[in-house]
Amino acid sequence: MKAVVFTLGCKVNQCESASLAEGLKEAGFEVSDELSPADLYIINTCAVTSEAEKKSRQAVARVEKFNKNAKIIITGCASERSPSAFSGKPNVYLVTGAKSKDRILDLIDKSGIFIDEKDIYYEKFLPARSSRTRSYIKVQDGCNNFCTYCIVPYLRGRSRSRDPENIKREIETLNPVEAVITGIDLSDYDFEGMGLADLLFYLKDYDMRIRLGSLEVRAINEKFLDATKALKDFAPHFHLSLQSGSNAVLKSMNRKYTREEYLEKVRLIRKYYPDCAVTTDIIAGFSTEKESDFEDTISLIKEVGFADIHCFAYSKRSGTVAAEWKELPPELKRERLNRLLCFKKKCISDFTEKNLGRVHEFIPEEEVYGMLTGYTANYLRVYVKDKVTAGRKYKVVPTEKYNDGAIAEIKE
């Protein structure tokens, strides 16, 4: 039998989907992660924005085009938030939430809605490779931050962290070329007093490249950066979440840091890693954002010199504090988002330009436009025309800008 595990949303969702796929393979299924003809579909949904929820619902209709008689399982944040929005759809026989994904394989022969209330345990997912070269290692779930715009803590539950011995066993089982350490709030990793820096020291003897998922400002200190230096092959790419460059907006978002603290942490990172990539997330048009606040964000972007920006317009999420506030006009949110997108393009271009002519270590992943493409340790996307083998490390020199990165030559 054929099964598809289709994923929307974050890297943690991707990690959990890969584990579900592994379980299906062990059960004898032929498994794909792309929508294609199959007997069983598991749709791992997202609810971080209203658009993500909409795409999650639309995925069910897309499945019908491949098999009108398929069996469909819905899981994830969107179904945790609103199981009834999925349970009545054609061919959907099982709906679970964000906190019960690890039970899906046990429930696969049942039908109905299974939403777990508990969030005190840590799910024991099967080790699962996400690609031929990279594996996402989920070490933490849930969130205690309660940013005023964010629905995630209500869906994923309270923060909980994974036993480091279990993490080690997964890494050793997968033995990937690159391991991405990730979580819903990775910075909040805390297993019986062992924090994120302690976890990295604990992993220092592994030879594979280790990359980190999204980080919060509070995670950046000298102990943490010393821990990254202790790793044998650390990828100097820091995705440091920002959301706004305005202190007033940050306070209304309940973000618990200031623009000055953010800039201080960026300077500290670059003291350790002068050529690293710093990327971020920014929300355009939050309800409390004035034009002067938006200009504060633009000035911070210019000062930091990000390698890339993930930017999106504010989307009200019912159930959050900010849902009760008056939104900015849609056209104003779009206008600010478009301005951010222009800066995003410039950031990518400037970062690529900065890395031309420098030697990087590159891991090819897939063929695109007749070339093998992948990322350097500092997250520059490169395209190589030479014959190389996916999953091996090569020294390369980026020579010219191309598409969303650079053409590179193998350095013998």
Residues 156-172 have pLDDT tens digits of 999 999 999 999 999 99
CA distance 355 to 397: 9
Q: What tokens were used for 296?
A: 């504060």
CA distances from 410 to 10, 177, 332 (A): 32, 19, 46
114: which strand partners?
Answer: 96
Q: Are 159 and 185 in contact (CB under 8 A)?
A: yes
CA distance 116 to 90: 24
pLDDT at 130: 62
pLDDT at 43: 96
CB atoms within 10 A of CB 59: 21
310: which strand partners?
Answer: 281
Please name the fold of domain 134-342.
pyruvate-formate lyase- activating enzyme (3.80.30)
Model confidence pLDDT, tens digit, residues 350-362: 999 999 999 999 9
Q: Which amino acid is at 374?
A: G
Q: What tokens were used for 66?
A: 């491949």
Nearest Cα to Cα of residue 207 among 229, 227, 232, 228: 232
pLDDT at 79: 94
Break the chain into its structural domains and give their ranges: 2-114, 134-342, 360-410
Please name the fold of domain 2-114.
Rossmann fold (3.40.50)
Model confidence pLDDT, tens digit, residues 195-222: 999 999 999 999 999 999 999 999 999 9
Return the CATH number of the domain spanning residue range 360-410: 2.40.50
% of the chain residues with pLDDT over 90: 81
Residue 106 parent element (H or E):
helix 104-107
Mean pLDDT of 314-339: 96
Nearest Cα to Cα of residue 401 among 358, 367, 355: 355
CA distances from 99 to 180, 190, 201, 358 (A): 22, 19, 29, 45
CA distance 22 to 124: 13
5: which strand partners?
Answer: 42
Structure letter (DSSP) for residue 127: P
Task: Return the minimum-mean-pLDDT range out of 38-42, 84-88, 224-228, 341-345.
Answer: 84-88
Asked if pLDDT for residue 117 goes beyond 80, the answer is no
Q: What tokens were used for 274?
A: 């002068």
pTM reported for the whole predicted model: 0.91
Banded pLDDT at 249 (limits 50, 70, 90): very high
pLDDT at 369: 86
CB atoms within 10 A of CB 115: 14
pLDDT at 129: 62
User: Using CB atoms within 10 A of its CB, is residue 289 exposed (0-12), middle (13-18) or buried (19+)?
Assistant: buried
